[in-house]
Structure 1
Amino acid sequence: MTYQEKKSIISLISSILIFAAYCLYRYPHYPGGGASSREVLHYWGSFILILTLVSIAAHIIISIIFNIVFRMTTGEKEPAFADELDQRIDLLAFRNSFAVFVAGFLLAMGSLVLDHTLKVMFLVLIISGFISDVTGSLSKLYHYRRGV
């Protein structure tokens, strides 16, 4: 298995674990039934903002740890450059990830048009962001294994 395949697998697993752990931690703090819309908006705004920051920080830390462990176990360094294949695979994965996120965003806005609650809109938006991240990692893994 190549460095890029291992990195994609680690990225996929870490995305799932970070998202699951954060949701299990934060979702029980959802404001009760009598909460005002201001409290609900504050909850979801902080949920998304903190999830984004936690996810970025965790991915950076996991990437550093992965590179250290990879170097210790194989004796090889991380590839210092990305060739044309790596760049093409990154672009394909980004395209797939972006398409999933845009579809989720449109679904979230559609839920507002259909008079669903803010909770539904934010859940669709958050889940589409998560699925977008997973789609990007799976796309990279697929293209490194099967080719472009």
Structure 2
Amino acid sequence: IRLLTPPSMFCAGTEIFFVVVSYPKFASNMSAANRSQPIKLNRPVVGKARKLKDLMLKSDNRVCADCSAPDPKWASSNIGVFLCLKCGDVHRALGQDISNVLSLTLDDWSDSDIDSMIEVGGNSYANSIYEAFLPKDHPKPKPDSPMEYRTKFIRW
């Protein structure tokens, strides 16, 4: 069993929602309701993890930094932005040294990954830097933009 804390549920204070991702034999024996029940923790999220949670909850970070798709599930820790799956795939293809893409729910985050995200401050600040000289004829992709356009924009 692996515990997951999706961003949409991350704001539930000390509650963590669990999903069985391994052991399908056990998962099939659980009712759908039991698979998504909150588990109360004895202590709240603290320290750097709390700061990352707070950063995730800022309104500008609740959409993809590149295409504005709602509820991003990925982040580029060294660029300091939250990303949707499609834009995360493009960032991942750039290489880890350029964009270190991590899942908000599945990957283990190091202290330095969290520090990088907090230092940048999220989507608004990062975009104010990266898009400062974006030509008017080079608009941002939309959530339904084709991968070719999304890739062209991100590689720009």
User: TM-score interval w.r.t. the shorter chain?
Assistant: under 0.3
Select the structure that is richer in helix.
Answer: 1
TM-score between the two structures when normalised by the length of structure 2: 0.22
TM-score between the two structures when normalised by the length of structure 1: 0.23
Select the structure that is richer in strand.
Answer: 2
Higher Rg of the two aligned structures: 1
